[in-house]
Every structure is written in C-alpha cells, then in structure tokens.
Amino acid sequence: MKAYWYDNKPGDQRLPHDSTRPVTESYLATLGVIYHHLPSLADVDALAAARGYKNRDEITVSPTTMGDAYETKVKSFFHEHLHEDEEIRYIRDGRGYFDVRGQEDEWVRIQLEKDDLIILPAGIYHRFTVDEGDYIKAMRLFQEEPKWTPLNRSEELDENPHRVGYLGSLGKAAVAAV
C-alpha cells in the first residue's frame, strides 16, 4: 500500500497522480480507513470472522472480463460516492487506486496491490479506479447479504444518516489514532 495526496492535475484517472507528498497509515486511521497486508486467505478468513463479515464474492475488472462495458464501468467507479455499509476489498491480483476525502475535503490516493486489504467506513466519500494495467481482481467482503449501492455525492447526501454518523466519528478516530 502506498498513500499520498492526489495531485489534482488533469489526465487519465488511471495514472498515479502522485503529488510526492506521502500520507501515513495513521492519518488514514483518522479518516476511519483501515489497512492490512494479508498474505494468505487464512489471514482474510480470520479478519472476516473477527469483524463479522459473513459473505464474500470476487470481481475482476478488466477489458477481457467486462468487454465493451469496461470503459463505462471504470468511469462509473470513479464518480465520487459513499456507501451505507463498510466497503471491504482484498486485492487478489493486479493494482488499483481508492481515493478518499481527507479531513479538509482534499483527495488522498491509496494504491493497492496483491494481498492488500482496505476497509472504508460507511459514509466516507470515495472513488475507485484501476491503474494503467487495466486489471484488478478483488474479493469483496460483506457483513450481511452482498449489496453495493453507490450514492453519488450531492448536497442532499450530506444529510444522509450514514454520512452524518461518519462525520461525527472523525474526531473520535483522530483521538484513537494518536
């Protein structure tokens, strides 16, 4: 895992957009973002049991697996959104980026590759893209029945109870990370 401030320069979303200003794992923790490097499925199983993740599936994002829908799908993943559940992704192969909003509403880019697992809290604004390799295979873990409903950012969404709850947790997460 590598995390850094997104450079906000124009260009393909799949490019690194690395500002060369690193972001620490402890800063990610203040945002409620949890990272683990898990080199085996047994490690994933143990984390899933400890956190109550009961369901899982796998997705491969690539031109080969998605065909003509690939470019449209990759662009849709990059729309800023939130979920009302945690988003848990374990990278089985390939590489990609999760961008999350920092405490000042700026983008933090998190590069993930094989054996990286990330947990994004419910209510955090984020987006996803593959890197220039146009390939990632990820396991998605769920606490309940699998669902993945992105809610695109809007002023009305700022009143969503999951968003409000997330914002309320930011001060607590900052204290816990110290």
pLDDT in tens, 10-27: 999 999 999 999 999 999
**Over residues 57-79, mean pLDDT:** 96
**Over residues 135-156, mean pLDDT:** 90
Q: Quick check: 90 and 170 in contact, CB under 8 A? A: no
Determine the Cα–Cα distance for residues 158 and 138; give it in Å rounded to an integer. 29
Question: Please, which pLDDT band fits residue 174 given cuts at 50, 70 and 90?
Answer: very low
User: Which amino acids are annotated as binding site, given as ranges?
Assistant: 81, 83, 87, 126
Q: Based on the number of CB atoms within 10 Å of its own CB, is 36 exposed (0-12), middle (13-18) or buried (19 or more)?
A: middle
Per-residue pLDDT, 172? 56
Question: Domain coordinates of the chain in residue numbers?
Answer: 2-175
Secondary structure letter of residue 112 according to DSSP: E
Question: Please, which pLDDT band fits residue 173 given cuts at 50, 70 and 90?
Answer: low
Nearest-CA neighbor of 4 among 143, 99, 114?
99
Above pLDDT 90, what percent of the chain? Answer: 90
Place of tokens 């409903």: 149
The domain at 2-175 falls in which architecture? Sandwich (2.60)
Determine the Cα–Cα distance for residues 145 and 161; give it in Å rounded to an integer. 20
**Over residues 41-55, mean pLDDT:** 96
pLDDT in tens, 93-110: 999 999 999 999 999 999
In this predicted structure, the answer to whether residue 178 has a pLDDT above a threshold of 90 is no
Residue 78, classed as helix, strand or coil, is coil
Measure Cα distances from 170 to 6, 105, 123, 165 in Å: 21, 13, 11, 9
pLDDT in tens, 33-44: 999 999 999 999
User: Which amino acids are annotated as binding site for Fe(2+), given as ranges?
Assistant: 81, 83, 87, 126
Please state the φ and ψ torsions of residue 12, each to the nearest 5 degrees: -55, 135
Q: Of 39-53, 123-137, 160-174, which gets the smallest average pLDDT?
A: 160-174
DSSP one-letter string for 147-161: ----EE--TGGGG-H
Residue 26, classed as helix, strand or coil, is helix
pTM of the prediction?
0.93
At residue 9, what is the residue type? K
